[in-house]
């Protein structure tokens, strides 16, 4: 048992540094929370206060991009699409989302959302609760999102749909 514990600890220690070399490949990197930049969500694409932290785009052949996005109560994205879809992993709070023409849904911390490719949608916090999610999407031909018009207050305040 102690040998297994020691071996496990050795592995954890070896990958817990800033980088860990892998045989025949590039190095693994870890971006530390305290080193990540946080920027305001551009007013052109967000209503209310939203912040974006740890934005990343991986080098080819990977197409993965992502960020941690925090929405203050009442904040939301504009309508937008993703060429290969989008996964949202909700880490805190309560939010709303809607695909154009469909019902508006509520989601909570611990939920994982999937929006299919090229489906016009929006997401954000509820009027009374903030919300944070990890957004993960892929770039196709260097593009991971197409921004559109802002979600109106009337659209934002439509009643929730039935699941």
89 within 8 A of 114, measured Cβ to Cβ? no
Boundaries of every domain in the chain: 33-156
Rg (CA), the chain: 19
Q: Which one is the CATH code of 33-156: 2.60.120.10, 3.30.1330.60, 1.10.10.10, 3.40.640.10? A: 2.60.120.10
Residue 81, beta-bridge partner list: 146
What's the whole-model pTM score?
0.79
pLDDT digits (tens, 9 = 90+) for 60-76: 776 777 889 999 999 99
Q: In angstroms, how far apart are the furthest CA atoms of the chain?
A: 62
Residue 144, beta-bridge partner list: none
pLDDT digits (tens, 9 = 90+) for 115-136: 999 999 999 999 999 999 999 9
């Amino acid at each position: 048992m102690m040998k297994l514990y020691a071996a496990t600890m050795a592995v954890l220690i070896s990958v817990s540094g800033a980088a860990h070399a892998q045989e025949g490949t590039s190095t693994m990197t870890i971006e530390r929370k305290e080193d990540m930049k946080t920027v305001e969500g551009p007013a052109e694409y967000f209503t209310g206060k939203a912040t974006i932290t740890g934005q990343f785009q991986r080098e080819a052949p990977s197409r993965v991009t992502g960020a941690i996005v925090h929405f203050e109560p009442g904040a939301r994205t504009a309508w937008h699409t993703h060429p290969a879809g989008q996964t949202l992993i909700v880490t805190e709070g309560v939010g709303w989302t809607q695909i154009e023409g469909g019902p508006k849904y509520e989601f909570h911390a611990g939920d994982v959302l999937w929006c299919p490719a090229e489906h016009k949608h929006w997401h954000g916090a509820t009027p009374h609760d903030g919300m944070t999610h990890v957004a993960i999407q892929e770039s196709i031909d260097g593009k991971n999102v197409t921004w559109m018009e802002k979600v109106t207050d009337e659209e934002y305040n439509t009643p929730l749909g039935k699941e």
